Amino acid sequence: MNKILKKNDTIKLVISLNKIIIDMDDTITVDTYLNVVNNYLKTNYTYQDINKYWIDDIIPPHQLENYLDYFYNQINIYDYAKVHPHAIEVIKELTKYYDVYICSAYVDHRDLKDCVNLITYKYKWLQKNLPFIHPDNYIFTSNKKMLQADIKIDDRLNNLEGQARLKLLITAHHNKNISVQELREKNVIRVNNWNEIANILLKH
């Protein structure tokens, strides 16, 4: 027999349905760009060799046009992606308690014509690896600041700007040196992995 919801139950239900926006690259997937660059250049760079946000800034300028064509047209970059440990199982658990959205940027000012292909690659990867999240909950935009959510999870500090009650920065090669003080000033909490995210969001 279905339980009839009383008014207070409904209020609790609504309150519990918090909206989470989760970034994709370097938050759910890892090493994608590093693996693609290494494959293209036939190198074995590690994150220790790269001190930039954009991994492909190490591509020599005279090869950039060729590299961008490779990146957007010749491969699916997510064939080179690994999953952040425990990300998928934690996100699946989150969907039981939260309204989960995946938000990923795709605009590349160096190649505005071909970067649209990233949407297809991202969409297919998400469908295959996070089948429990409906595509209605995918957001493809490079302007994440305008999105409002209760909780945002991202590896890029800029993307955590804008409205959210809880902002979690997941550690990545390019954000390791952001100070505790700066994070505190921006009301951001650092998390090192998905187990830490689970500890914060799934402790009931």
* Binding residues vs Mg ion (CB under 5 A): 23, 25-26, 155
168 closest CA partner among 84, 50, 96, 77: 84
CB of 44 to Mg ion, least distance (A): 23
- 42 or 109, CB closer to Mg ion? 109
Shortest Å distance, C-beta 17 to Mg ion: 25
- Comparison of 13 and 54: residue with beta carbon closer to Mg ion: 54
Between residues 97 and 190, which has the closer beta carbon with respect to Mg ion? 190
- Of 108 and 155, the one with the shorter C-beta distance to Mg ion is 155
- Of 23 and 108, nearer to Mg ion (C-beta) is 23
Least spacing, CB of residue 108 vs Mg ion, in Å:
14
- CB of 195: closest distance to Mg ion in angstroms? 19
Minimum CB separation of residue 25 from Mg ion in Å reads 4
CA distances from 99 to 62, 130, 133, 152 (A): 45, 14, 10, 12
CB of residue 104 to Mg ion, shortest distance in Å: 8
Counting Cβ atoms within 10 Å, is residue 109 exposed (0-12), middle (13-18) or buried (19+)? exposed
Nearer to Mg ion, 26 or 108 (CB): 26
